[in-house]
Structure 1
Amino acid sequence: MKKRVTLTFPQKTVHMPVTYLLAKDFNVAANIIRAQVAPNQVGKLVLELSGDIDALEAALEWLKAQGITVSLASREILIDEEKCVDCGLCTGVCPTEALTLEPNSFRLKFLRSRCVVCEQCIPACPLQAISTNF
């Protein structure tokens, strides 16, 4: 099973090797989608967690017990087709190739199933045609 979560770390827990501990203690794989972590500051980490459902639940409970705020990611990328001019700038920053240009028509193609909502495409769009639903 997979779950996409956003972790918000208080200053005192930023130093914890969270992804290592999730793998070692819970047998949960953590794919880092986005990270904003610095010493002595509040940190944010967007992860895609995969593993057995019971192990995932135990890992999430452990994170909460450490003072880490856990939010299930339910956001989606939205593309305003009226604004989009199919320039392809978003395709260059998409790590999962959810955004591609059709080879024959050069029209933007969005594969929602591949999107991990890393939001790197949003600032790449010069026309602000890409946003999230929250």
Structure 2
Amino acid sequence: MKKRVNLTFPKRAISIPITYRLAKDFNIAANIIRAQVAPNKVGKMVLELSGDIDQLEEALDWMRSQDIEVSLHGREIVIDDTTCVDCGLCTGVCPTEALTLDSKTFQLNFLRSRCVVCEQCITACPVNAISINL
């Protein structure tokens, strides 16, 4: 099973080796989607976790016990087709190739299953056709 989670670390928890502990103690694969972690600052991380459902729940409980705020990631990218001009600027910043231009029609294609909601496309769109649905 896969779950996407947002983590917020208090300053004192920055030094905890989260991804190592998830792999070693819970047999959970952790794909880091986005991370903003620095000494003496509150840290934020978006992870995609893969593993057994029971071990995923145990891992989430363990992170909460470390005073790490855990919230499930329910957000998704939304593209307004009436505003989009199919310029393709968003395709250049998409790390998973969820956004592509059709080579024949030059229209934007969005494969939601590939999207990791990194939000890079939102700032790249010159006409503000891309947003996030909470």
Matched, 1:76 2:69: no
Runs of 4+ in 1 over 2 A off after TM superposition: none
The CA deviation at 1:122 is: 0.7
The CA deviation at 1:82 is: 1.3
Letter matched to residue 23 of structure 1: A
C-alpha distance in 2, partners of 1:121/1:20? Answer: 30
TM-score, normalised on structure 1?
0.98
Gaps of 5+ in 1: none
Matched, 1:100 2:97: no
The SS at the match of 2:122 is helix
Deviations 1:22-44 (A, max 9, x none): 00110000000011111100110
Alignment of 1:21-40 (within 5 A): 21-40=21-40
Residue number in structure 1 paired with 2:63: 63
Residue number in structure 2 paired with 1:7: 7
The SS at the match of 2:81 is coil
The SS at the match of 1:128 is coil
The SS at the match of 2:118 is coil
C-alpha distance in 2, partners of 1:100/1:58? Answer: 37
C-alpha distance in 2, partners of 1:43/1:124? Answer: 24
The SS at the match of 2:41 is coil
The CA deviation at 1:16 is: 1.1
The SS at the match of 2:94 is coil
Letter matched to residue 29 of structure 1: A
Letter matched to residue 128 of structure 1: N
Letter matched to residue 2 of structure 1: K
C-alpha distance in 2, partners of 1:130/1:33? Answer: 19
Gaps of 5+ in 2: none
TM-score, normalised on structure 2?
0.98
Residue correspondences, number: 134
